[in-house]
Structure 1
Amino acid sequence: MPTARRIAHAFLERQGLTTIFGNPGSNELPFLAGLPESFRYVLGLHEGVVVGMADGYAQVTGGPALVNLHAAAGSGNAMGALTNAVYARSPLVLTAGQQVRSAVGLEAMLANVDAPQLMRPLVGHSAEPACAADVPRSLAQAVFEAELQRRPSYLSVPYDDWDADVDPGACEVLERRVRRGLTPDAAQLDDLVREVGAARNPVLVLGGDIDAAGHVDRAVACAEHLDLPVWVAPSPHRLPFPNRHPLLRGVLPAGIGSVSSALAGHDLVLVVGAPVFRYHQHVPGPYLPDGARLIQVTDDAGAAARAPMGEALVADPGPVLAALTDRLPQRASGPREFTPPPEPATASGAALHPEEVFAALRDTQPPDTRYVVESTSTNGAWWRQMDLRHPGSYFFPASGGLGFGLPAAVGAAMGDPDRPVVAVVGDGSANYGITALWSAAHYRVPVTFLILRNGTYGALRWFGTLLGTPDVPGTEIPGLDFTALAAGYGVPATAVTELAELRDQLKTPPTDGPRLIQVDTHPTSPE
C-alpha cells in the first residue's frame, strides 16, 4: 500500500514543484522525510522571508511555488509577506504541519485550531484533509486552485497522515491535469473593437498582469498601432510598458479624484490587466472625468466584480490586445524615439541624491537586469532616472507590505539565474526581511543588494505631511550599519559615500554569491 507521503512527493515531482521554500518545525518533519533527490529545499530563517523568496521565484518563473510553514505560529509569521503575494497574484502553494489528529481537539502544543480559517480571507483556497486517505487529493486541489485562481492556496496536514497507508486508487491523482482558458468569443471581440474604434480620444491603462502574463510586447504593439497614450495603473507591482516610451504618460496617482483628473479629456478609458483601481491616498472625487466611459479587460474575476464603475470583460488580455492591433486601422507609423532621462538631481553634503544612485544603476547595469524595489520614498526619483525596456524588469511589494525586497530578490535570482538581479531597498524596509541575507549567502545567490540609507521611514514622513500629522514619533532610525549586519550573515559588504566609488562598485557584477552596497542618500518624498 502506498503512503500519503509517497504519493504526495510523486505528485509534486510530476507538477514540477521540486523547490520547497520553508522553515521547518516538528510538525513538518514527516512530510520532508525521504524527499526524492530531485527536490531542493531552500531554507529561510523567518517565514516572512520564506514567502517573500517564493513570491519572487513564482513571479519570474510564471508558475506555482511550494512553501512549507510551521503550524499556526509559522503561518502567522508568513501572513504579512502573504499580502504581497495575494495582490501580485502569485500562485503560491502553502503547506503547513498540523498536530496529530487525536491532539488537535485537545489544543495540544502546536495544534492549529481551525487551521483553514487562520489564513482566510487572504488565500483563495484553504483546507485540511478530512482524513489521511484524502491527503493526495487535497494536495492536488491546493496546487490546482493556486494555478487556476492565480492566488495563494493553503493546506494544513496532520503530521501522522503522511505515514498512513492509503488506497491505491489515490494514485489516480498523479495523472491529473487542469488547464485554464479564457479566450474571449467573437461577439465580445467585435463589441470591444467597435467601441475602441469609435472613441474620439481613447486612453490605455495597463496593469502588472500584462507583464506577469508575458504580454508587454503585445501592449506596446497595440499602443503604437493605435497611437494610444498609455498610463500605468496606480500602485504597480510590475512594469507593463517601457517607462521611457514616448506614449507613456506615467503612473496614475493612487487617489480617486487624482485618477479622474489625470484622465480628463478622454472619452474611453480602456484598462487592461489591472484592477479598477488600487487606490491608496484618500483623495475624494468622481471616479471618472465627465464624458468618460471605462472598459476593463482582466482575467481576474474578483477584480472585475468589485470595480465601482465601468464595464468589464473577464478574459485573457493577450487575445484582446492582438485583436485591437489586427482589426483596427493603424493611426501612426514610423520609429519611436524613447525619451532620455533628465540630468539627475544632486544633494549637498555627504549623502547622494537618490537620482544620482539610480542614474548610476542605469548606466552600469545590463539592460535586462531585474530590479526588485522596496524604497517607497524614492519612487519619483526612480521613475525619472530609470530606463526599463525589458519585460520582467521591475518588481515591487504589491500590497505595500514591507519585507518583500531582500527575499524576493533572492527568489527571483534562484528562479531565473540567467538575468542579473539588483535589490534596491530602503534602510527602513530592509530590516523586515534582513535574514534573507543568510539564505542568499548560504545558497550563493548572485544578487546585488543596494541599501539606501537615510535614517528615516521616509514614506511615513511624507504621509505625515499629507495627513497633517508631521510630529508623530517613530519615524527616525539612525545608526544602522548594514555592512556589519551583512557580514554577520556572511554577505560581503561595503559602504560608499562618493558617486564615483558607487559607480566603480556597480560595474563589477557579483558572481559566486551576493554582495551588499550601503549608500547614504538624501531624504526625498515619493513624488
Structure 2
Amino acid sequence: MNVPSGPSVRRDIPTPSEPDEAVWASDAIADMLRAMNIPYVLLNPGASFRGLHDSIVNHLGNEKPQMMVVLHEEHAVAIAHGYTKVTGKPLVAIVHSNVGLMHGSMAIFDAWVDRVPVIVLGATGPVDANKRRPWIDWIHTAQDQAALVRHFIKWDAQPASIPSANEALLRARQIATTAPKGPVYVCFDAALQESKLAERPPIPDPARYLAPPPARPSDDIVAQAAVLLSEASRPVILMGRVSREVEGWEQRIKLAETLNAEVLTDLRVGAAFPTDHPLHAAPSGNFLTANAQEVLREADVVLSLDWLDLSGTLKQAWGDKPVGSKIIQVSVDHYNHNGWSMDHQGLPPVDVFMLCEPEPAVALLNQHVKPRKTPAPAKRPLLPVSVTPPAPGATGGSNIAVATLAATLKRAVGEQEVCLMRLPLSWSGEMWDFRHPLDFLGYDGGGGIGSGPGMSIGSALALKGSDRLPVAVIGDGDYMMGVNALWTAANARIPMLMVVCNNRSFFNDEVHQERVARQRKRPIENRWIGQRISDPPPDLAMMARGQGLTGVGPVVDASELEEVLRNAIAAVKKGETVVVDVLVQTGYSPAMTAGLTRSKD
C-alpha cells in the first residue's frame, strides 16, 4: 500500500552556498541518493560521515533527501523500519562508524527478522592510516566494520571510489527490496567522502537497477495446490506476511470465499484479512487460541501464505503427533536463512511448495481453484478471556483492564479511520477488528524492546497527510527503553497518538517467574521482585512533555479515560504528538500466557 507522505515534515533550511566549481566525492554520493528518490535520511551526527552530512546540507539544501535528527542510532533504523511497513519503500538510516553501528544493531536485527528493507549507510575513519587523526579516528576505524551485523543483513559493501559507491547504493536497494526483503549496509571511507573530484561523475539511471518482479511458481505446482484446495473438505488459510496493498487484500478475500476456507491471522504481522469476516475463524494472537488450535487440527488442507513460524504453529495444534493435514507452503523466506540466527524457526512438513511471495500465489490460485459448495463450519464460541491475577502493588489501584482500554479507545475514535501502528503483548485479537491492510502494522520482528516509539514515529511519518489517525498502543517497558525517540517526532512535527499500557512491571517476565516458581514449589507471590517499575513510579507523561510533546496522565480511573482520549485525538488532528499514560491492570489472554510458558515440566 504505497501511501505517499502528505505535507512535509518541518525542515531546517540552510543558508544558500556560494556558487563553486569544486566537486566533492560526498556530493556525488548525495546526488545518487536524490536520484534514487530517497525522501528522508535518519541520522545521529558523527564525524565519520561529516563529508556526506555537509553535502546533504550545503549541496542538496537539506531536501530530497531531508535529514531527520535522532538521539540514538537505534531510533534511526527503527523509524526507517516503521516508515517502510506502511509504504513498502525503504528509507536511509546513517550510523556513525563502528560505535553507531553497534548502537543501531538491535534495530537492524528487528528489520531483518521482520523482513523489512532498510538501507543503512555507515562510515569508517580513514582507511589510509596516514590520514587518521590521533586517537579518535583510530578507535572509530574497523578492519571489517560490517562484520558487526553481517549475520543479520542481506548484503554489505565498502566502496573505494565514486563509481563503485553508486553501484553499491543501487545494488543495496535492489537486494534490500528483493524478497525476502531485509536490511543492507554500505560503509563509506571518511577520506573518500572528503576527497575532491576532477569533474562531476555521471549518475546511473536508478530506474534500470530495480528489484526484479515477483517470481511465480510453475504451472504444475499451481495446479497441484489448486486441486488440493478445491477438493478439500476443511481447508484452512494461514494469512501471514503479506503486503499492505489493497489489491492483494481483495485477492485474499476472494480466495477464501471461493473455497469457503476458514482463515487464521497473526498479531505479530500486519493485518492480512478482515477479522470480522465470517470466515475468520478465531481471534488473532501471538500464539494460537484454543479455538484456533481446534480449527487447525480439523483441517485436511492448510495453505500457508508466508506464515510466521509455520512449524511452531503446527506443533501448537498437533503437539508431538504427526501433522495430519496436507500443507501448501507459499514462501521464499528460506533464501534468508543462514544458520546464525534461529529466526527461521522449525522446519515444517510441506506437501506442495510454491516458491514465491503470497501475492502472485493467491492471484494464480484464484484463476485455478474451483468453488467449494460446502459451507465453512460455524464460528466456535469464544473462550472467556481471563487475566493473570496481579501480585500486590502491581497496578496502583487502577480499574482499567487492557480490554477496557481497547473498548474505550474504539469509542473515542468513532468512525475515524485508524492505523494501529503497534499493540502490546497484553492485547488480544477480539479487542479490535481489522478491515483494511493499514488498520494494523504488526510487531517489530525481533522482539527488541524499545523499538515501539521509533517504529511508531516512522509509520506516523508515512501516514502524515493521509486520512488515517496514527495510534500506537505500547507497553511501559517498550516506551521507556525508546522514549527519547519521541524528540524526533516533536522536532519534525509528526502528529500521532501514543497510548502507554502502563502496568509498572516487566510483566512478561512475571509470568515466566511464576512458571518457574510453580515448577519448583516456591512462593509465586515473589514473582514481582526484580520486575516492578514502581518505586518510584516513573512519570511517563513528563518524559513526553520534557521533549516538547503533549503528555497526559497517569490515568487511573476508567470513567475518565474516554474524555482524555477524545481530547488527545482532537489534539493529534491539530498536529500535536500526544502521549497518554494509562495505568492498567496486569494480565494476558490464556493463549498468550500459555505460549509464554509452554515447556516440558
State TM-score, norm by structure 2: 0.78
Question: Mean Cα displacement is larger for which, 24-33 or 9-18?
Answer: 9-18
Q: CA deviation at 1:86?
A: 1.3
Q: Give 5+ residue unaligned stretches, structure 2.
A: 1-21, 339-343, 390-394, 519-523, 593-601
For residues 262-281 of structure 1, what are the structure 2 equivalents within 5 Å? Answer: 263-277=296-310, 279=312
Contact between 1:374 and 1:429, CA under 8 Å: does it hold in 2?
no
Question: Mean Cα displacement is larger for which, 393-402 or 185-194?
Answer: 185-194
| 1:427 alignment counterpart | 476
Aligned partners of 1:309, 1:416: CA distance in 2, in Å? Answer: 39
Residue identity opposite 2:547 in structure 1: Y
For residues 368-387 of structure 1, what are the structure 2 equivalents within 5 Å? Answer: 368-376=417-425, 378-380=426-428, 383-387=429-433
With over 3 angstroms needed to count, the CA separation of the structure-2 counterparts of 1:285 and 1:96, relative to structure 1, is same
Structure 1 position 73 matched with structure 2 position 99: yes
| 1:313 alignment counterpart | 354
| Cα RMSD after superposing both structures | 3.5
Q: CA deviation at 1:160?
A: 1.4
Aligned partners of 1:202, 1:309: CA distance in 2, in Å? Answer: 17
| 2:211 alignment counterpart | 179
Structure 1 position 437 matched with structure 2 position 498: no
Q: CA deviation at 1:330?
A: 2.7
| 1:237 alignment counterpart | 269
Residue identity opposite 2:182 in structure 1: R
With over 3 angstroms needed to count, the CA separation of the structure-2 counterparts of 1:271 and 1:429, relative to structure 1, is same
Contact between 1:60 and 1:416, CA under 8 Å: does it hold in 2?
yes
With over 3 angstroms needed to count, the CA separation of the structure-2 counterparts of 1:452 and 1:259, relative to structure 1, is closer
Q: CA deviation at 1:264?
A: 1.1
| 2:232 alignment counterpart | 199
Aligned partners of 1:41, 1:270: CA distance in 2, in Å? Answer: 43
With over 3 angstroms needed to count, the CA separation of the structure-2 counterparts of 1:175 and 1:190, relative to structure 1, is closer
Aligned-residue identity in percent: 21
With over 3 angstroms needed to count, the CA separation of the structure-2 counterparts of 1:367 and 1:343, relative to structure 1, is farther
With over 3 angstroms needed to count, the CA separation of the structure-2 counterparts of 1:104 and 1:291, relative to structure 1, is farther
With over 3 angstroms needed to count, the CA separation of the structure-2 counterparts of 1:9 and 1:313, relative to structure 1, is same
Q: CA deviation at 1:276?
A: 4.0
Q: CA deviation at 1:280?
A: 9.6
Aligned partners of 1:128, 1:304: CA distance in 2, in Å? Answer: 23
CA deviation map 1:245-283 (0-9, x unaligned): 22222337648x998766212221110132443849997
CA deviation map 1:113-163 (0-9, x unaligned): 311211111111122124555222222222221112410000111111123
With over 3 angstroms needed to count, the CA separation of the structure-2 counterparts of 1:340 and 1:50, relative to structure 1, is farther
Aligned partners of 1:359, 1:8: CA distance in 2, in Å? Answer: 50
Aligned partners of 1:252, 1:230: CA distance in 2, in Å? Answer: 13
With over 3 angstroms needed to count, the CA separation of the structure-2 counterparts of 1:296 and 1:317, relative to structure 1, is same
| 1:390 alignment counterpart | 436
With over 3 angstroms needed to count, the CA separation of the structure-2 counterparts of 1:281 and 1:34, relative to structure 1, is same
Contact between 2:37 and 2:65, CA under 8 Å: does it hold in 1?
no
Contact between 1:273 and 1:317, CA under 8 Å: does it hold in 2?
yes
Question: Mean Cα displacement is larger for which, 14-23 or 195-204?
Answer: 195-204
Aligned partners of 1:215, 1:467: CA distance in 2, in Å? Answer: 44
Structure 1 position 360 matched with structure 2 position 404: no
Aligned partners of 1:34, 1:266: CA distance in 2, in Å? Answer: 59
| 2:176 alignment counterpart | 146
SS of 1:450's partner is: strand
Contact between 2:274 and 2:433, CA under 8 Å: does it hold in 1?
yes
Aligned partners of 1:501, 1:252: CA distance in 2, in Å? Answer: 29
Aligned partners of 2:313, 2:207: CA distance in 1, in Å? Answer: 44
SS of 2:107's partner is: helix
CA deviation map 1:335-366 (0-9, x unaligned): x9999999999999433111110001222224
Residue identity opposite 2:158 in structure 1: E
Aligned partners of 1:501, 1:104: CA distance in 2, in Å? Answer: 66
Q: CA deviation at 1:322?
A: 2.6
Structure 1 position 454 matched with structure 2 position 500: no
State TM-score, norm by structure 1: 0.89
Question: Mean Cα displacement is larger for which, 392-401 or 172-181?
Answer: 172-181
Structure 1 position 34 matched with structure 2 position 93: no
With over 3 angstroms needed to count, the CA separation of the structure-2 counterparts of 1:252 and 1:31, relative to structure 1, is same
For residues 207-218 of structure 1, what are the structure 2 equivalents within 5 Å? Answer: 207-211=240-244, 215-218=248-251
| 2:12 alignment counterpart | none
SS of 2:501's partner is: strand
| 1:520 alignment counterpart | 583
Residue identity opposite 1:180 in structure 2: P
Q: Which structure's relative contact order is higher, taking Cα pairs within 8 Å and 6+ residues apart?
A: 2
With over 3 angstroms needed to count, the CA separation of the structure-2 counterparts of 1:67 and 1:247, relative to structure 1, is same
Residue identity opposite 1:358 in structure 2: A
Q: CA deviation at 1:168?
A: 6.8
Q: Give 5+ residue unaligned stretches, structure 1.
A: none
Structure 1 position 298 matched with structure 2 position 298: no
| 2:512 alignment counterpart | 463
Contact between 1:427 and 1:452, CA under 8 Å: does it hold in 2?
yes
Contact between 2:170 and 2:209, CA under 8 Å: does it hold in 1?
no
Aligned partners of 1:340, 1:463: CA distance in 2, in Å? Answer: 29
Aligned partners of 2:364, 2:335: CA distance in 1, in Å? Answer: 24
Residue identity opposite 1:156 in structure 2: C
Q: CA deviation at 1:10?
A: 2.2
CA deviation map 1:445-496 (0-9, x unaligned): 1111111111111111122234447546421111111111111111111112
With over 3 angstroms needed to count, the CA separation of the structure-2 counterparts of 1:254 and 1:187, relative to structure 1, is same
SS of 1:308's partner is: coil
| 2:138 alignment counterpart | 108
For residues 392-431 of structure 1, what are the structure 2 equivalents within 5 Å? Answer: 392-394=438-440, 395-417=442-464, 418=466, 419-431=468-480
Aligned partners of 1:439, 1:236: CA distance in 2, in Å? Answer: 26
Aligned partners of 1:96, 1:139: CA distance in 2, in Å? Answer: 12
Q: CA deviation at 1:178?
A: 2.1
| 2:392 alignment counterpart | none
Give aligned pairs, total. 522
Question: Mean Cα displacement is larger for which, 301-310 or 135-144?
Answer: 301-310
With over 3 angstroms needed to count, the CA separation of the structure-2 counterparts of 1:202 and 1:11, relative to structure 1, is same
| 1:504 alignment counterpart | 563
Contact between 1:209 and 1:240, CA under 8 Å: does it hold in 2?
yes
SS of 1:83's partner is: helix
Correspondent of 2:398 among 339, 345, 350: 350
| 1:476 alignment counterpart | 532
Structure 1 position 220 matched with structure 2 position 253: yes
Residue identity opposite 1:444 in structure 2: R
Residue identity opposite 1:518 in structure 2: D
Aligned partners of 2:336, 2:349: CA distance in 1, in Å? Answer: 12
Structure 1 position 18 matched with structure 2 position 50: no
| 1:328 alignment counterpart | 369
Contact between 1:344 and 1:385, CA under 8 Å: does it hold in 2?
no
Contact between 1:362 and 1:387, CA under 8 Å: does it hold in 2?
no
Contact between 1:87 and 1:399, CA under 8 Å: does it hold in 2?
yes
Aligned partners of 2:42, 2:320: CA distance in 1, in Å? Answer: 41
Contact between 1:265 and 1:289, CA under 8 Å: does it hold in 2?
no
